[in-house]
Amino acid sequence: MNIKEVAKRAKVSTATVSRTINNSEKVKPRTAERVRKAIEELNFYPNTHARTLVSGRSRMLGLIISDITNPFFPELVKSFEDEAVQRGKEVIIGNTDYNPKRMAGCIQRMVERKVDGVVIMTSEADPGLMMELTRRNIPTVFMDTGKPGPHTANIRIDYAQGIQEALQHLFALNHRRIAFISGPMNLESARIRHAAFVDGMKERGIGDHLMLEKGNHRIEGGAMAMRSLLKMSPRPTAVMASNDLTAIGALGVIQDANLKVPDDLSLIGFDDISFAHLTQPPLTTITLSRTQLAVTAFAALEALIRKEDGSHADYTISTHLVMRRSTGAI
């Protein structure tokens, strides 16, 4: 079932069939009609591999994320895919699991599959590896990480903004002993969030003896870190977590210890995943619009793909505090 059989049935050449499929050049309406009928009757689907092989374009976009089981990412994937499907592109997802080895595997697959472009929403690989994509002239959009370069766009997320708002909120509520549970430190986004917290505390004159615990952006990591924090004396009166899953893990531990949020401890997450407002109490967190991020990333990538000059572009996305009951607000 290939283009030849269609051609034979429609009594035209394969070139004409190809032109009809792609409406790349003028085909006489009556001929096109015959071809379409033949395609219909034979139930013909063009072979994308043959197509990609000769044209060099695969109509696929790569999207690399760090953890598909973190609801932040599926929401992002969905928005991105919606954009792509509308434009007749396909998305293939690479899931790194916070693991540089798997990240390398993802990038290799993207190259092998000859994707038209890649969006990298994670950063646990060594920079050299990521540059492999630009070295092969594959348009790439980096989030957080990545230096300006040809065939490249950067999306910078203003994590610091949201964290400043959060600290301001906590200080207004008279919290001073504020702990922070970080994410995996091989992630640029986790490093930035961590640094923004430390800087914010320093600016407010509390630079020493910060209560910092390590998490991993997963629920168990948050739980484990929280157990350590509860052993401290005096223990913190507020906890900020590097993401919502971490906060949710912490919340469970706090409640298991028969402490009340926000009466005994205030809690703030990051990401505003859909479950954040469903916890008891609903979680105060920092929001980052998935739709905006996805739309920006897609637009940035399309722009890179279209223009030949390989010039660079930068985008910024803001973050903001969402007050809910886990800090006593509302």
Partner DNA sequence: CTGTATTCTGTAAACGATTACATACCAAGC
Partner DNA sequence: GCTTGGTATGTAATCGTTTACAGAATACAG
In the DSSP assignment, the letter for residue 235 is: P
Enumerate residues 115-134 that contact a second copy by CB under 8 A: 132
Q: In this chain, which of 14, 42, 71, 291 binds a second copy, going by CB under 8 A?
A: 71
What is d(CA 246, CA 268) in angstroms, rounded to the nearest whole number?
A: 10
Q: Is 112 in the site for a second copy (CB under 8 A)?
A: yes
- Mark the segment that binds a second copy (CB under 8 A) among 109-117, 173-181, 200-208, 318-326: 109-117
Enumerate residues 37-56 that contact a second copy by CB under 8 A: 43, 45-50, 52-53
Q: CA 297: distance to chain centroid?
A: 9
Tell the smallest beta-carbon distance from residue 322 to DNA (Å).
Answer: 47
In 113-213, where does DSSP find H-type helix? Answer: 127-135, 159-172, 188-203
Q: In this chain, which of 37, 41, 53, 255 binds DNA, going by CB under 7 A?
A: 53
Q: Is 75 in the site for a second copy (CB under 8 A)?
A: yes
In the DSSP assignment, the letter for residue 278 is: G
Is 266 in contact with 309 (CB distance < 8 Å)? no
Q: What DSSP element (H or E) covers 40?
A: helix 29-42
Q: Is 58 in the site for a second copy (CB under 8 A)?
A: yes
Residue 4 interface partner, choices a second copy, DNA, none, CB cut-off 5-8 Å depending on type = DNA
319 Cβ contact partners less than 8 Å away, ≥ 6 residues apart: 157, 158, 159, 161, 162, 163, 286, 287, 288
Q: Is 28 in the site for DNA (CB under 7 A)?
A: yes
- Mark the segment that binds a second copy (CB under 8 A) among 77-85, 175-183, 198-206, 233-241: 77-85
Is 94 in contact with 151 (CB distance < 8 Å)? no
Tell the smallest beta-carbon distance from residue 270 to a second copy (Å).
Answer: 17
The b-or-e profile of 240-272 (16+ CB within 10 A means b, else e) is bbbbbbbbbbbbebbeeeeeebbeebbbbbbbb
313 Cβ contact partners less than 8 Å away, ≥ 6 residues apart: 153, 154, 300, 303, 304
- Mark the segment that binds a second copy (CB under 8 A) among 33-41, 90-98, 144-152, 312-320: 90-98
Enumerate residues 261-320 that contact a second copy by CB under 8 A: 274-275, 278-280
What is d(CA 9, CA 125) in angstroms, rounded to the nearest whole number?
A: 52
Pick from 185, 320, 179, 200: which is nearest to 247 by CA? 179
Q: Is 318 in the site for DNA (CB under 7 A)?
A: no
Is 218 in contact with 181 (CB distance < 8 Å)? no
Residue 24 interface partner, choices a second copy, DNA, none, CB cut-off 5-8 Å depending on type = DNA
Q: In this chain, which of 2, 74, 100, 227 binds a second copy, going by CB under 8 A?
A: 74
Q: In this chain, which of 22, 108, 255, 274 binds DNA, going by CB under 7 A?
A: 22
Enumerate residues 227-266 that contact a second copy by CB under 8 A: 248, 251-252, 255
Residues within the interface to DNA (CB under 7 A): 2-4, 11-19, 21-22, 24-28, 30-32, 44-47, 50-51, 53-55
The binding site for a second copy (CB under 8 A) comprises 43, 45-50, 52-53, 58, 68-69, 71, 73-75, 77-78, 81, 85, 90, 92-93, 95, 97, 102, 105, 108-109, 111-114, 132, 219, 248, 251-252, 255, 274-275, 278-280
